[in-house]
Amino acid sequence: MLQVAQVLFAERGYRGTSLRDIAKRIGIKAPSLLHHFPSKQQLYLAVLDKMFESLEDAANAVAWGRESRQERMRQAVGDAIDFIASHPDFVRIMWKEMADESGVGRQVLKRRLPPLFSTAVNFIFRGQRDGEFRAEIDPLHFMWSLNSITIGYFTTAAMIRRLWSMNLLEPVMIERRKREVIDMVERTLFTTDARTPENIHE
């Protein structure tokens, strides 16, 4: 039910999607849907909460992993890009919410985003304390930038395809993007040049 609702909200937006549309796609009557969620807004908020659960699980896995923080940061970037590439509905909904201060989901974002960013910021703080990350980097500003670089790639994919006939969502392009962002993180955040020859892109 949540998955079907997520697809429709991503395709049509919150205002362009009705409970009738969702019920029809599921194969039930609209009143039956109301037994689970009392309103379209409650259903939409449940979709957002479910999306954030996946992000929080991934963030906690990175924060408490056993590898070095540099290696966990590389893995986190690659996993984030893979996740977004395989969940196009996620990025459509999230980008709309981030761009609209009066969006229906603003309370969910206000409740779920700051703790998520705090996990990432504290991870960087600990890396700075232990000498793995550069001390002069502002962790919060770095995470804002990384978020924009990661999600922004996917939000511009349709425009780039129209204007330059280039498909940024092809597997080879996704792998290239992962290497580029990881390289940027290494150059910007890491205290030592931990790049291996295959990770160097001139």
Q: What is the pLDDT of residue 45?
A: 94
Sorted by where each starts, the structural domains of the chain and their CATH numbers stand as 47-199 (1.10.357.10)
Alpha carbon distance 49, 57 (integer Å): 12
In contact, 134 and 128? CB cutoff 8 Å: yes
Q: What Cα–Cα distance (Å) separates residue 53 from each residue in 59, 94, 112, 158, 169?
A: 10, 13, 9, 27, 25
Q: What is the pLDDT along the chain (202 residues), one digit of tens a residue?
A: 999 999 999 999 899 999 999 999 999 988 888 888 999 999 999 999 998 998 888 898 898 899 999 999 999 999 999 999 998 898 889 888 887 777 788 889 899 999 999 999 999 999 999 999 999 999 999 999 999 999 999 999 989 999 999 999 999 999 999 999 999 999 999 997 544 444 444 4
Q: What is the pLDDT of residue 198?
A: 45
Q: What is the pLDDT of residue 161?
A: 94
Q: What is the pLDDT of residue 190?
A: 97
Q: What Cα–Cα distance (Å) separates residue 103 from each residue in 14, 41, 73?
A: 9, 11, 31
DSSP conformational letter for 199: G
Q: Which two tokens stand for residue 10?
A: 């991503």
